[in-house]
Amino acid sequence: MNRSGSAWLVSRIALCDFRLTWKDRSVIIWSLLMPFVFIFVFGQIKGGGSPSDVKATLTIENHDDGPVSKALLASLGRENLALVFEIPEGGEAVRSLVIPEDFSEKVLSREKTRLVLRKDEGSNSEAGQTAEVAVARALVKTVSALLEIEGGIIREGNGPISMEGDSLSGNLWITLENRPDGAAALEADLDSIIARAPVITVASSFAGKAREIPRGYQSSVPGNLVMFVLMGMAFSGIVITQERRAGILARTAVSPARKRDIVAGKLAGRMMVGIVQILVLLVAGRFIFKISLGNDVAALVILMVAFAFCCGAFSLVFGSLFGNPDQVAGFAIVTTLVMSALGGCWWPLEVVPQPFRIVAFCLPTGWTMDGIHKLISFGYGLGSVAAHILVLVLFGAAFLAVASARLKLAR
């Protein structure tokens, strides 16, 4: 590299700024540690991990000792439920399944019976639905097993299990009255059928791209990433005002470095800091908070570099518009919080009314959040975020133009 050329000077200024940034312990706390706290807290509030990790709790109040209720419970045990067999002390269960005393007897004799699924009013509705579906699936499985056993008896004749009814009309049912060993045999048969791997499984997936609203860490990691990178960058505008006051910018300006080299160096230094922050949070998001990074990591990297460019230029605007570090701090916090809230960092843009979605797309945070979720939550690729990348670069270029025009190197 030519040691008197612009590239050399820009790299020296950028490296100096990069090194200076990490000398400040508060930067490490606010850029790298606090985001983890926020990601964890907001991730938990928004539902923790991915939906498949959620197990609905179901308390079983079983008053029947028959083989059908046992088969039903075995079947429920294979569902994604947390079964509880003891009623909590001093209160009702959040949701419970009541199996009546004569449940097995009535099912076997084909009489009408009723299972009761109780749900507390304040309980999680999504978990309630999960439990309801699981009970229905377990019932279908149990009844199917019974039918299979009945079919076997009709084809192969009575073994330990007896049937009675009208064989001509086909109105037959299992009876345990004449064979004392029948109940045990029926229980064993039901167990073996329920334990069998299903012959047919249904794999479901979204047709096209998923549009499920991001939740849990899948929402809190990108939201906090965008907010904290933006905040760190906005606050780094303070450093520019301090350097101006100390005469450091003026001293740099009388070295062989021109104003354009200084602006480019400051921008590059900030981008380097932002990229480190983004990398740390994305890697932590993937391996600690177990979020998906989507199918096109290269597109995510390009989008994040564009975001870092935009934020770096945004920081220079703060440093060039204000002469006082306190002014920068005040505007930085307000601007960051407003842009984060309106841009979808705190809640998904999918749940806000249309006017707010329009506002979000007037801000770099809105474009970034939408782009990130397209890649990591909805499985899109580079083509679908090309516009986002372009818009972020344009935002950055506009910020850079303002900063270059307004940046004063001397007091």
Q: Which residues contact other proteins by CB under 8 A?
A: 3-4, 8-9, 12-13, 16, 19-20, 23-24, 246-248, 250-258, 409-410
Q: Give 253 or 284: the residue with its C-beta nearer to other proteins.
A: 253
Q: Give 266 or 373: the residue with its C-beta nearer to other proteins.
A: 266
Q: How far is the CB of 327 from other proteins (least distance, A)?
A: 21
Q: Give 12 or 286: the residue with its C-beta nearer to other proteins.
A: 12
CA distance readout (Å), 306 to 245, 278, 364: 31, 12, 10
Q: Give 286 or 408: the residue with its C-beta nearer to other proteins.
A: 408
Q: How far is the CB of 322 from other proteins (least distance, A)?
A: 19
Q: How far is the CB of 409 from other proteins (least distance, A)?
A: 7
Closest CA to 11 of 268, 226, 320: 268
Q: What is the 3-state secondary structure (H, E, C) of 325-356?
A: HHHHHHHHHHHHHHHHHHHCCCCCHHHCCHHH
Q: Give 23 or 114: the residue with its C-beta nearer to other proteins.
A: 23
Amino acid at 402: V
Closest CA to 47 of 307, 280, 291: 291
Q: b/e map of 347-375 (b: 16 or more CB within 10 Å)?
A: ebbeebeeebbeebbebbbbbbbbbbbbb
Q: How many Cα atoms occupy the beta-carbon half-sphere of 217 within 13 Å? A: 22
3-state secondary structure of 201: coil
3-state secondary structure of 166: strand
Q: How far is the CB of 308 from other proteins (least distance, A)?
A: 23
Residue 76 has φ and ψ, to the nearest 5°, of: -65, -35
In 160-275, at which residue ranges do the beta strands (DSSP E only) sit?
162-166, 171-175
Q: How far is the CB of 270 from other proteins (least distance, A)?
A: 16
Q: Give 196 or 411: the residue with its C-beta nearer to other proteins.
A: 411
Q: How far is the CB of 268 from other proteins (least distance, A)?
A: 15
